[in-house]
Structure 1
């Protein structure tokens, strides 16, 4: 976006005083062209600046004459153009100063209104600066060549005696137009141009990292490759000039200039080896992945050789990445922290596309070696990276370079259930890391405004929509993450949010973190609600209390859609009902999950409910959701069957009858009795967040029915639960239903987090189901966990299940002391215990 497109709608009085010698009508005609010239970077009065200013004047006159053709005031316009050319032909630098003042004034007006300039403006300015610097550098090389030619031909007479004075050579006190001053100036400007290229490479890498969060990224490396090649071309020209003029300069000065020149080449070569396509930042073991690296100077410098250049990929830890960074990415890697299959690929040069790259098409991380984690850091907070390295011989001098490029931070997981938390680590690192940082240091606290930008970027990219979050949404999200309803939106602007608040601390009264909840919303919206959100039919991020305030004064049947505040990945309908006395009551329908909406769409569910009339504030629901209704099939289908359909209804103020159980468990005989009130063992239910209005559980699993007797006989032998993860689960999940006088023994050797091997024992089918819908059983109760049997599904009236055998049940409760006490036959075979048998 150009500045002209932003300032042209503004009133002319905003720019009073800017257009004196240069008419406003000419500025309007030149529009974007004027901004695409390097006016503000012409800062000197030397021959180069004067020549460049004259070239710009000629280009401006030619441009204006072309635009004047067909203009209604062509005669007057041509007269102004002639006056412009005659006025500044003798002093083109004066025109440069005038145009520079106009552009600076326009930017000041725009900054006063919008407080920022478009990103495209800054990028264009950087390109103009580099382009002019490269022109100046080439101009200086031409001057050096001309100067040396004159000295060789002897047209300037004998060289000054001062050129033989070594002390003057070292101090550089020769006349300004002499060869030594020109050479030093050229090397200095080449180094400055190199710094601009490095800065542009850092910007490209930063944009690549932000693209991991959903930012727009221009991947094309051709302009950067052209810059690098241009500077290498100047390098070889200066190197040749130094070799020719070395005898005139002296060995000390020649060595000094060559050292500076070679340092430029060394930096350019090493910096131009980079990761073009990043490996996945959440990387699962035993899963194939791809990546590619590119050597920008390869087509220019790589020698034709029978032996191909091989690039190797190694996994490195955060500590190793820091050591490599301190060594300038030139040291050898001592040890790979993971085993990568298919980790070596040839660096190939494509003459047609003028590229040199190595593409890893089928890498696989076979295993990962975990490091010691800091404090309470979990596996999904541990960052590593892939290091790509090779040795190349370049240029006519056969210089050997070790090239290394580090990928973006990677979180390695072994199970799909770790994906959610791993994505949080990657999101935080991508959003808030600084260019040129020590790997992989990132701030622990960031401004809330930056967090809002990150969440909005992620939301729009994940849902694939152009409709982002609004200020009202940010206010609700701030209330949620900071756990306060008393602060104003302005107060949140000055706050900072920590990593712990983002994805380490459980939200008050919930069983999940802020990110886990927000990611659930992303998943639901992406899968089922994209079109509704893009049509702005979903308010979404709004509290239940504020919904009651909005709908309290609305007509009967007014409704809106909001994301569930207490359930991961749910959306609910809130609507208002009015009684005969005019009193209002706001109802919230049980949230719909992605699974529910795949059975029947949200639009059809809204159509089913006659109580819903108008989408808040006053839009008829058929008008709002009509395009989202699915056509209802009536009559017979093509096979002669009568069509059926599913309808949704809402039962209000009615108590559903409790179905009669289909099984019974009478009191067992005394000799087989473990305690009073025995109930059968039940499996852990599905891992789902609490429903709206329910009391949340502090356990990561929903509260199951009692698993042990409500009271235990005093003569019963003590339970020995053992130690380890199974004991931890029993202690955490059985304690609430044990009698007050029942004590669990001390548990030792508890592991706060499952190991990679334990995670791998979770059934693999969970990897292919949404983490917000999959039934999750803890790894401690799955096959392969020692003596623990595989537990049956949750018992409920009507389920036909096989109860555990007596041996399995007693071994679970008392694994070490029950072997000799087992009765000869299972008490579950007794028809009094299980009548169905």
Structure 2
């Protein structure tokens, strides 16, 4: 078994994967059999679809759904753009005749009725999307493409509406002047008055339509802002995140500019509905202004008192609206979960009614960078001096208590210097006062980041989630923390499910329908252990990141598998075959399982006591493997010296006489020249006082107690004169292994590895080990990362109620 590149991603049967790069619908359709699209191309040749490729789906055909003047003009422009695209292809193609025939056919068929062409292409794209719906991730990408096209189309429509209103307003002004002249010449002029009233009615309708369309576009922008915030939170667990806010800033600026133009035209028109429409336009502007203030660089989510941290806020509309030289200041305060909820329910006046804590260096100026066109407030050296704990549930620990940093500012905008109070909450923060609280605090943050929803009440999160969602979270966290592209496999998930649910009798498929609770994740002690699931998993994260990154990335470690799985792999393997798995009985340990001979010539699977970060800080995993003669072949059939190699001494130790730390295990088998080493202890301090786990038990022991398999470590120096005979050893010479015997594999617990310490001058440090690998849509100017699954639901139903926090601000 080899480590995989992410267990949560699905595959598109024989097609490309969608997880690592952006893919168009056409790139999927072109690899599918043409017969799957029979009936789609009766009115639009498939050859033309092939020529236009990605371009066709990158246009907003779907949203041209009426016969008003804008849609008619837009469809005609799309037809012209299509013809121009084909003409360019004809110029580049040596056989341009068929393309020119297609151009002539399109012009003859649709130039008079371009909306008919729009309907045909709509049907084709819908049919293609339906054909690929069976493949995972495709709907997500298509929806993402649809959202970008929707906003671009709506923005162009709004710009057109402004031009319509301006033209009609000018026409009315000319008509008023003409009417005054006509009335002077002929007082009886009813026809002109009727025409003027009709034009005024049309103007009112245009204002109402434009305002409604602006409100709809505002919802799309606020939804995109929510998605950005949600992606930022998921990035706290390691997911990919495009933090570039420039495209979102352009959206905000475009809508504020259109709202301003509509407001000017409304004031100039003097129509009867001006006060109502003006209020609606003001509400749109206010919502955009308040929601454009956000935390672009989050503070640490596990925050230790008396420790410096940084954060920054950004006002997306600052470069457009803050034109005066007046300086504005942003203030940071820590707030409780209760206060955050009061803020979300529109009670900002009581948000700081109670002092929750004290932050040093809690103010920063709001400044615009001319180069980046970003208006930000950077907090460089904040420090949480103290925290006041609030009342908690009886079962809740301090590491489950969530707070947040509230950033606030007051700015004066517009010619009337209207004051806007800007507020933005950070992601949830867990405050700790001691390092031993960090592990549990990280669990609280991981759970909140992974399973929060966009429209929640701060900071509520589900108590139970699907095991599938948990697998995706663990996989993403592992890859991000270890900084590797090799993720977890289904075999790993199966072992993790057995561990967290305490169930070794259920099949892998049955776990997919289960839900895992917060209590199972980090409150309940695992059966027969002294730690929770998360504490154990986090220990492996630290060990792998610190000492095993290259081995894991090069697929040399089997990792998250059970003893029974290992036994099944090795039971029929030849002696000397071994593999590496994470210990399930010790936090942050990796064990070597291998096949060895018994005295009667048969073979048996044995486990070497787990190596922890202490041992691997002294002796690298490669050195440990290479030092043990019984280990010959990495499972399934790879020589260990091909997979592992020693690392040269770092330059900083070149002035010292080289020394090597050697790992040995007592062993003896027929035909082997390897003998149990005696007197292999040198000047290393081995601490035998660490308790060992329970021995492996079997009803019919197959190995005598004398065949112990505990490792011992010896130090060999490069020059014999460094160890004169008169040197007094601080430790007795003799049996190099003070550890207890190692029983056979068929038990249920690992045995603890003794702690080892040595003079750092004699350590050969390991560097980066380049180990070989174990065999076994849309084109728009804006680029924003795809939403998560729950955000997709929001995008699929854009008319649903907006986020409560956004409603209160806007």
TM-score between the two structures when normalised by the length of structure 2: 0.77
Distance across 2 between alignment mates of 1:302 and 1:525: 49
* Residue of structure 1 in register with 2:253 after alignment: 229
Query: Structure 2 vs 1, CA of residues 774 and 49 (structure 1 numbering), >3 Å: closer, same or farther?
Result: farther
Distance across 1 between alignment mates of 2:112 and 2:55: 23
Q: Does 1:335 align with 2:354?
A: yes
* Residue of structure 2 in register with 1:286 after alignment: 306
* Residue of structure 1 in register with 2:48 after alignment: 26
* Residue of structure 1 in register with 2:485 after alignment: 466
Shift of 1:400: 1.0
Q: CA RMSD in A?
A: 2.9
- Contact persistence 2:466–2:515 (CA under 8 A): yes
Query: Structure 2 vs 1, CA of residues 84 and 108 (structure 1 numbering), >3 Å: closer, same or farther?
Result: same
- Given the alignment, which residue of 205, 208, 211 partners 1:187? 211
- Contact persistence 1:590–1:692 (CA under 8 A): no
Shift of 1:7: 2.4
Query: Structure 2 vs 1, CA of residues 467 and 488 (structure 1 numbering), >3 Å: closer, same or farther?
Result: same
* Residue of structure 2 in register with 1:95 after alignment: 117
Shift of 1:694: 8.6
Q: Does 1:62 align with 2:84?
A: yes
- Given the alignment, which residue of 637, 646, 650 partners 2:665? 650
Distance across 2 between alignment mates of 1:689 and 1:14: 66
Query: Structure 2 vs 1, CA of residues 179 and 578 (structure 1 numbering), >3 Å: closer, same or farther?
Result: same
Q: Does 1:607 align with 2:626?
A: yes
- Contact persistence 1:330–1:404 (CA under 8 A): no
- Given the alignment, which residue of 488, 505, 513 partners 2:507? 488
* Residue of structure 2 in register with 1:217 after alignment: 241
Distance across 2 between alignment mates of 1:481 and 1:258: 58
- Contact persistence 1:566–1:692 (CA under 8 A): no
Q: Does 1:150 align with 2:150?
A: no
Shift of 1:175: 8.7
Query: Structure 2 vs 1, CA of residues 161 and 54 (structure 1 numbering), >3 Å: closer, same or farther?
Result: closer
Query: Structure 2 vs 1, CA of residues 686 and 326 (structure 1 numbering), >3 Å: closer, same or farther?
Result: farther
* Residue of structure 1 in register with 2:75 after alignment: 53
* Residue of structure 2 in register with 1:786 after alignment: none
Question: CA offsets, 1:307-358, max 9 Å, x none?
Answer: x111110000000000011017576532331100010111112233322111
Distance across 2 between alignment mates of 1:616 and 1:367: 54
Distance across 2 between alignment mates of 1:147 and 1:581: 102
* Residue of structure 2 in register with 1:585 after alignment: 604
* Residue of structure 2 in register with 1:559 after alignment: 578
Query: Structure 2 vs 1, CA of residues 315 and 254 (structure 1 numbering), >3 Å: closer, same or farther?
Result: same
- Contact persistence 1:448–1:492 (CA under 8 A): yes
* Residue of structure 2 in register with 1:630 after alignment: 647
SS at match of 1:510: coil
Q: Does 1:204 align with 2:228?
A: yes
Question: CA offsets, 1:446-487, max 9 Å, x none?
Answer: 000000000001001001111110011000000000000111
Distance across 1 between alignment mates of 2:435 and 2:202: 69
TM-score between the two structures when normalised by the length of structure 1: 0.74
Shift of 1:578: 3.4
SS at match of 1:269: helix
Shift of 1:631: 4.8
Shift of 1:177: 6.7
Matches within 5 A, 1:806-817: none
Q: Does 1:597 align with 2:612?
A: no
- Contact persistence 1:329–1:403 (CA under 8 A): no
Query: Structure 2 vs 1, CA of residues 487 and 160 (structure 1 numbering), >3 Å: closer, same or farther?
Result: farther
Shift of 1:295: 0.7
Shift of 1:652: 4.7
Distance across 2 between alignment mates of 1:175 and 1:773: 89
- Contact persistence 2:172–2:199 (CA under 8 A): no
SS at match of 1:590: strand
Shift of 1:693: 4.3
Distance across 1 between alignment mates of 2:163 and 2:569: 74
- Contact persistence 1:564–1:692 (CA under 8 A): no
Query: Structure 2 vs 1, CA of residues 657 and 646 (structure 1 numbering), >3 Å: closer, same or farther?
Result: closer
Matches within 5 A, 1:212-611: 212-246=236-270, 248-249=271-272, 253-306=273-326, 308-327=327-346, 333-579=352-598, 581=600, 583-611=602-630
Q: Does 1:125 align with 2:146?
A: yes
Shift of 1:655: 11
Query: Structure 2 vs 1, CA of residues 61 and 488 (structure 1 numbering), >3 Å: closer, same or farther?
Result: same
Shift of 1:116: 3.6
Query: Structure 2 vs 1, CA of residues 596 and 95 (structure 1 numbering), >3 Å: closer, same or farther?
Result: same
Matches within 5 A, 1:770-781: none
Distance across 1 between alignment mates of 2:210 and 2:753: 65
Mark the structure with the bigger radius of gyration.
1
Unaligned runs of 5+ in 1: 165-173, 659-684, 696-771, 776-837
Distance across 2 between alignment mates of 1:773 and 1:41: 66
Distance across 2 between alignment mates of 1:400 and 1:70: 58
SS at match of 1:404: strand
Shift of 1:187: 0.8
Question: CA offsets, 1:18-67, max 9 Å, x none?
Answer: 22222222222222211211111111111111111111111111112212
Shift of 1:240: 0.9
Shift of 1:591: 0.7
- Contact persistence 1:604–1:629 (CA under 8 A): yes
- Contact persistence 1:340–1:364 (CA under 8 A): yes
